[in-house]
Structure formats: C-alpha cells, structure tokens
Amino acid sequence: MVNRYSIPIETPESATPAAVDYRSQNPPFRRPDPIRPPAGAPNVLLVMIDDVGFGAASAFGGPCRTPAAERLAEGGLTYTRFHTTALCSPTRAATLTGRNHHSVGFGVIAEMAGQAPGYNGTRPASAATVARVLQGNGYATGAFGKMHQTPPWEISPAGPFDRWPLREGFEKFYGFLGAESDQFEPVLYDGFRTVDPPATPEEGYHLSEDLVDRAIEWIDSVETMDPDKQWMCYLPFGACHAPLQVPDEYLDKYRGAFDHGWDRQREITLARQKELGVVPEDTVLAPWAPGLPHWDELDDDQRTVAARFMEVYAAFLEHTDDQVGRMVDALRERGDLDNTLVIYMIGDNGASAEGGMEGAFNYLANLNGYRSGTQESLERIDEIGRPSSYAHFPSSWALALDTPYQWAKQVASHYGGTRNGLIVHWPQGIAEPGLRHQWHHCVDITPTILEAAGIPAPQSVDGVRQKPMEGTAMNYSFNAPDAEDRHVTQYFEIFGNRGIYDHGWTAVTAHRAPWLMATPVKDLPSMDEDRWELYDTTVDWSQARDLSAEHPGKLAELQGKFLAEAARHQVLPLDDRTVGRYPDPASGPPHPLRGRTAITLYPHMDGLVEKAAPNFFNRSFTLTAALAPGFEGGAGAQGLLASIGGRFAGFAFYVLEGRPVFCYNFVGRELTHIRGDDVLPAGARTVSADFVYDGAGFGKGGELTLSVDGAAVASGRIARTVRAMFSMNEQFDVGRNRGSAVSPEYAGRGPFAFGPALRHVHVELPQARDISPTEKARIAMATH
C-alpha cells in the first residue's frame, strides 16, 4: 500500500533474502516499481493569463476574441463566480499552494516584502506547492512563463535557491521570475541560469509563442521517453500584463473597434454576458469608480490615443489565447486532450488600472513619477504595441474590462478586482459540460487538482509537517450543475482594500485607488475611517446596491468575521502602503549587499535583477572595468562593460570602435552620451566611469567623468536621473547585454560581449546622503 500522505513516498525495503552466490539467488531481486499516480489520474495543464478582467474575453462576453477559450468552454465548464486575490504573485502563491496568500507570506508581491509573517514574500516549507506534491507522486512537472514568487533578494548567484521553480517541485522551468517582462526582448531563465531568447524581434520573436513552443517540446520529450508517465504543465503567460506588445500581424485586428469608448463598451459587454448566461438577466452595471473620467469628458486627442491603447490590448489578449489554442491543438494531436485536466484562468486579478488617467507610452516613466501622457502617445501612436513602446492603457478601460463589476486590479474588496473567468476542460472527468455558478476562489485550484488525480493532501513534505489546505476542491460541481456551494466564506485584502464573502453576502471597503499608487499614506484616510459597503449577491450579482444603511447589524457581523479571518490567516497588521512601503530599509526586504558600498562583479556571472543589484538612484557611484594584461586596444575593441536597465530607462558603460562611452537613458526620452575622443591604448588596465551626484533632492543630475588608467579622457553633464527604478525585468549586466539595449548604438548587436579582455567591474557606492523618511518614500520603487 502506497503511503501518499508523506512526500517523498517511502520505497519499501526488499524482503528477499540474499544468497551467498548470485548464481543461487532465488527468488531473484526485483527493483521496486517507480512511484506512479493512482490509476486514471489525468495530465494537468494549468494556464494563467495576466491582468485580464472578467469582462475582457469573448468567452465571458468581452470584446477581445478568445476562440481557444470558447472551444474549451463548449466541451467543458465555465465558472462564473471564480475569484482571485486582486494582485499578481499573491494569486500565484494561493493557486499553487492551496493556502491563502497571507498564510504563505504573500500579502503583497515579493518586491514589497517586509518582516510581518503575512507579508514576508517567502513561501514556508510547510506549504508545499502542488507541483512538489504531484512530483512526489510520480508526475513529471514543468513550468513555462511568469512565476513571480521567488524573493528578489534570492535571485543571485548566491541564492539560496529553495524558492526558485526547480526547488518548488518543477523539474523543468523556462520563463521569468519577476512581475512583468518585455515580450520582444525578455530576460529569461532556463532552470537556474539566464539564457538568451532563441530569436530577435526582427526575426519574429515573441515571448508568448516561445513559452508555448517550449512547453510542447517538453511534453513531447516526456511522453517519448516514458509514454505512461503523467505530467503537469504550468503555463502562466506574462501577457496581458503591461507592456502591451504584440506581433505586427495582430496590430490592426481591432482598428476602429473601440471608438465608441469605455462607457458604451460596458453596455455592449453586459448585453453579451446576459446572452451567454455568465450573468443573470437582472444584472445591472455597478457604479463607476470615483475619480476616473467618462468617455465624453475626453478631448479628441485623448479619445484617439485611448482607443488605440485598447485596440492593442485586445490584440494582445487574442494573440495570447491563440497560443493557448496551439497548446490545446498539440495535446489533441497527441491524443492527450481527453485525459488532460485543463484549467484555464483568464486573469490572475481584475484588469489593471495602473496605466494612469491617460495611459502611457512608457508606463515605467509613470511609475517613476514622470507623466507619460496623451501628447507623447499621440506623437508615437504608430509605435504603440511595437518593441519601441512600453505601453499601458488608461485606467478607465480597466473598469470596462471588469464589466459588470466595480473597481479593478489591487482592489480586493470589490469583484472588479477579484472575479475572473475560469474554464475547466476534462472529457474523461466531466460528463455534463456547461455553466457552473458555484462560488470559488483561486485557493481551490490545488485541492481540485489533487482530488482529480486521486492524491491526498500530504501531511509531511520533505520532512516538514504541512499546514492544512485552506481551499475547497471544485470537483463536486464537475457533474452536478446545481450542486450547493461548498466554499462559503472567504476574506480579501490587498493594500488595505479589504472585504469578506460569507454565504452570498459581501462586506467591502475600497481604501485606495490603484491609479493613485504614489499617494502618501498621510494623505489617505485611516483604515478606521473607511466606509464599508454591504451587498447581497444572491440578488445583486454585480454589487450595485449598497445595503449597509438598511442592514447595519449584518454589516457589523461581517466586519467581525473579516477580523477573525484576518487574524487566522496572518493578514494583521493591516498595511496600506504601496510606493515607499518601507522607508526604513531595516523593515523592508533584505538585500544581497547587506549595506556594503563596494562589490566586484565578473562577466561569468549571470546578471543581477534590479532589486538585488547595487542601488544607483539619487547618489554618486563609480564603475571601474579591469582589463586583462596584454589588452590589445585599438579601434577593434568594443563591447559592453556594464549596464543596468534597457531601452526604456537605464545606463550603459561600453566601448564602441575602441572608444569608451557612457550612456544615460532617462525614461526613454533623453539619451546622454559621454564618450572619449581617443581609442583605448594597448596595455590599458582600467576604464572608469565616475558619476558625482548633485544631491539636494531626488532625480537630480550630476557630472560624469570617463578615465583610462586613472587619467580623465572625457566628461559631461547628465541633466537629470531616474528617481526610483529602471525596469521591472532587465538586469545589471557585466561584460554582455541581456534584454533590450540602453543605447541604440549597440542595439541589434546581440549580446555585444566585450570578450575575455574584461576581467571584472568594480562598483563603488559612496554612502547615500541622508534624506527624510518622506523623501525616501517618494523615491522608493513603485512596484505593482
């Protein structure tokens, strides 16, 4: 009898007695059979799309065509009351562990981690992932895409690697670890190492296509070598998170389709949703979020730009769904589809309102506090969606894409932030396809997978006693359309936006708007002052009619239940900070440098993510490249010495045609090149870039001096610098370029490697000036 309650599963010792001589060994020894899942266990394909609201996909009445989702829904189940946490990595952590996001340390994304247990960004060993459980039961496991659960301070050559995908139960990983990625020039990991994409944007590369190619290849390899082995494939796309970037052939698919604007789109979508039956006939549009403009309040230029952003987003979602379609077609061709449990999560939270009131051509500039508004987008409108843009749509489109609900991503109180489309397809396990209206949450995904496989939640994994599962398996509804709900109570909380669902009632409070992430806490109401709303969703599907004044007793009851659930699941203390969440570094996430002001980095090292790299913001710094003895110099010497960031912000220190160059890229708008006049001489030993910051503020300028062997060869002024972040996906690279190029001078040159003549780069960071806690908060990284 296989004991599946303890992982790894113990292999019984041989009871066969040993003979003195193998010739007389009888009975012969037999190797134990490999661990296999229970008979009939399905393959598992878990697909997750990023930043897609309930009212976006055509499968749920939205304007974006999703034919693969529709085909899966025709032969499977469409869940109309499925929920997420309202934010990226919290949803992923809950989905993959079967425990609530605060219970596993992900009350916020890991980039914002602090010290409190519910917010430390560190999954505990007592909450093993579903991948580890399936792997321990004989499944092959692979993940392809956005993980966003590895603590950024652990993404370095020193690790530790315990919370990298390959140590969380996945035997194969190909994708990226952070919040978002450039779709044309991503920084990718294959296992523990960074790798280059297999092609360039000019050659037609796109990340979503690459992920599906790799996933199909992996399944082919597993089934070729072991046809009887079940597999789990986790396919979390970076799409449709900003930046909105799509192949050229998709760019014109929606031309003119959104000229009617977001208010009218809500009405169109709601009508379609009623036709599909994903909302009841009596559903009404929930109230508009305060502070966001209606379509008729925009001028002509704003409408032109806003419509174009939405056209590109719709193309982005259609392209992503087409890749899901390719994946499903590959399974059908292999004969795998009938016994594959396909779980298609169309969004890890509601649509994102983080693009600001007018949207952004380069929304990284917005996150740094530099407005990327209508005029810039209008002047470059034909580039939106292409590699030269880092686009995000206006916040009001998020409300339309969350139809018929209120609010959007981050707002964990209302269904606009938490209700997402879910499709489940499993022909061998589902006899009655159609709509399912049972209430569920992403914490239910892991229990559902385990029950489908016939595998119990283990009590011990790798010697660590496991926390109980907090989700509810959905399998009871697979063949019982009218089954009563089993997930009847669920809390929500992100950034102080909070609420609770209990037997059809919801008590909610929207504490802060997602398009006001930089609002200082002192300008927010205290959480004691928040106004709570009460909805009876058994008769008010869209949370449109607030009953708090009519039922104060019920509201008080649910507020009490929220506090009880919050205490139980490590939600307390509540924390509403976003930008500048921890002005005091000691209270925030750790850093690999641990306060050191100097470090030497080598070309053989993989690049460092920005959160693990030296902090170059609002301070002076020196970069010194040490060259190998016998350096030949001359016009033939060239390549990257060091860079951080990429096309949309950063700096690069390099040699071009023998001459040293420093380029500072200010949010894609201003490129300052400072270059030496003469080529590097033979025998040169060091090349340095020394930046002296003006001080007396943040985002100020400074003087940059280039030196060779200690002698200045060029100097110039950098007028202003980026305040808080260069990118969410690029790295600090030494000796070669990964991702996009900071300067167009070396863009298109591949890795632009300097070669063996570069020994190392030494970074010195003079102690940063003292600044007030308020100013620290303003210059802190704006993560999302």
Question: What pLDDT, on the 0 to 100 scale, is given for residue 587?
Answer: 81
43-423+441-477+484-494 against 587-779: fold identical: no
Question: What pLDDT, on the 0 to 100 scale, is given for residue 602?
Answer: 97
pLDDT in tens, 381-407: 999 999 999 999 999 999 999 999 999
Does residue 473 sit in helix, strand or coil?
coil
Question: What pLDDT, on the 0 to 100 scale, is given for residue 774?
Answer: 37
766 pLDDT above the threshold of 90: no
783 pLDDT above the threshold of 60: no
779 pLDDT above the threshold of 80: no
* C-alpha to C-alpha distance for 138 and 218, rounded to whole angstroms: 16
Residue with tokens 């300097």: 754
Q: Given pLDDT bands bounded at 50, 70 and 90, which one contains residue 781?
A: very low
20 pLDDT above the threshold of 60: yes
589: cis peptide before it, omega within 30°? no
* C-alpha to C-alpha distance for 151 and 167, rounded to whole angstroms: 13
pLDDT in tens, 746-758: 999 999 999 999 9
Looking at residue 498, the DSSP 8-state letter turns out to be: E
Centre a 10 Å sphere on the Cβ of residue 561 and count the other Cβ atoms it contains: 17
| Cβ neighbourhood burial of 276 (10 Å; 0-12, 13-18, 19+) | middle
Indicate the residue type of 317: L
Question: What pLDDT, on the 0 to 100 scale, is given for residue 784?
Answer: 30
Look at residues 16, 5, 11 and name the one whose alpha carbon lies nearest to residue 35: 11
The proportion of the chain whose per-residue pLDDT surpasses 70, expressed as a percent, equals 97
Look at residues 411, 429, 507 and name the one whose alpha carbon lies nearest to residue 473: 429
772 pLDDT above the threshold of 60: no
Indicate the residue type of 490: Q
Structure tokens at 670: 């201003």
What are the beta bridge partners of residue 627?
Answer: 758
Q: Given pLDDT bands bounded at 50, 70 and 90, which one contains residue 478?
A: very high
771 pLDDT above the threshold of 60: no
What mean pLDDT comes out for the span 356-378? 91
Inter-CA distances, 448 with 236, 434, 452, Å: 18, 18, 6
Look at residues 599, 606, 716 and name the one whose alpha carbon lies nearest to residue 651: 716
778 pLDDT above the threshold of 50: no
Of 30-34, 426-430, 568-572, 750-754, the range with the lowest mean pLDDT is 30-34
Opening angle at CA 663, ends 661 and 667, nearest 5: 175
CATH 2.40.160 fits 587-779, yes or no: no
Looking at residue 176, the DSSP 8-state letter turns out to be: E
**pTM of the entire structure?**
0.96
CB 182 within 8 A of CB 160: no
The proportion of the chain whose per-residue pLDDT surpasses 90, expressed as a percent, equals 90
Average model confidence (pLDDT) across the chain: 95
CB 79 within 8 A of CB 425: no
Looking at residue 447, the DSSP 8-state letter turns out to be: H
Gyration radius of the chain's alpha carbons:
27
The residue ranges of every structural domain in the chain are 43-423+441-477+484-494, 587-779
Give 539-604 as a 3 state SS string: CCCCCCCCCCCCCHHHHHHHHHHHHHHHHHCCCCCCCCCECECCCCHHHCCCCCCCCCCEEEECCC
As a dihedral over the C-alpha atoms of residue 396, residue 398, residue 402, residue 403, rounded to 10 degrees, the angle is: 30
What mean pLDDT comes out for the span 336-348? 98
Question: What pLDDT, on the 0 to 100 scale, is given for residue 782?
Answer: 31
CB crowding 693-717: b at 16 or more within 10 Å, else e: bbeeebbebbebbbbbeeeebbeee
Question: What pLDDT, on the 0 to 100 scale, is given for residue 524?
Answer: 81
Q: Given pLDDT bands bounded at 50, 70 and 90, which one contains residue 767?
A: low
CB 60 within 8 A of CB 422: no
Pairing between β-strand 621-627 and β-strand 758-764 as defined by DSSP bridges: antiparallel
* C-alpha to C-alpha distance for 351 and 515, rounded to whole angstroms: 12
Identify the H or E element spanning 46: strand 43-49
Residue bearing the bigger pLDDT, 467 or 517: 467
Q: Given pLDDT bands bounded at 50, 70 and 90, which one contains residue 739?
A: very high
Question: What pLDDT, on the 0 to 100 scale, is given for residue 770?
Answer: 40
User: What are the backbone angles phi and psi of residue 451, rounded to the nearest 5°?
Assistant: -65, -40
Residue with tokens 């009351």: 81
What mean pLDDT comes out for the span 626-645? 97
Inter-CA distances, 529 with 312, 746, 760, Å: 40, 54, 55
pLDDT in tens, 97-114: 999 999 999 999 989 999
What mean pLDDT comes out for the span 306-327? 98
Question: What pLDDT, on the 0 to 100 scale, is given for residue 258?
Answer: 98
Residue with tokens 């669902």: 501
CATH fold for the domain made of 43-423+441-477+484-494: Alkaline Phosphatase, subunit A (3.40.720)
* C-alpha to C-alpha distance for 243 and 386, rounded to whole angstroms: 10
369 pLDDT above the threshold of 90: no
Question: What pLDDT, on the 0 to 100 scale, is given for residue 119?
Answer: 96
Inter-CA distances, 248 with 1, 64, 144, 252, 739, Å: 56, 17, 24, 8, 20
Structure tokens at 162: 């315990």
Q: Which residues contact 57 (CB under 8 A, 6 or more apart)?
A: 64, 66, 69, 317, 321, 346, 421
**Distance between alpha carbon 735 and the CA centroid of its chain, in Å?**
28
Does residue 502 sit in helix, strand or coil?
strand
Look at residues 527, 548, 528 and name the one whose alpha carbon lies nearest to residue 536: 548
Q: Given pLDDT bands bounded at 50, 70 and 90, which one contains residue 122?
A: very high
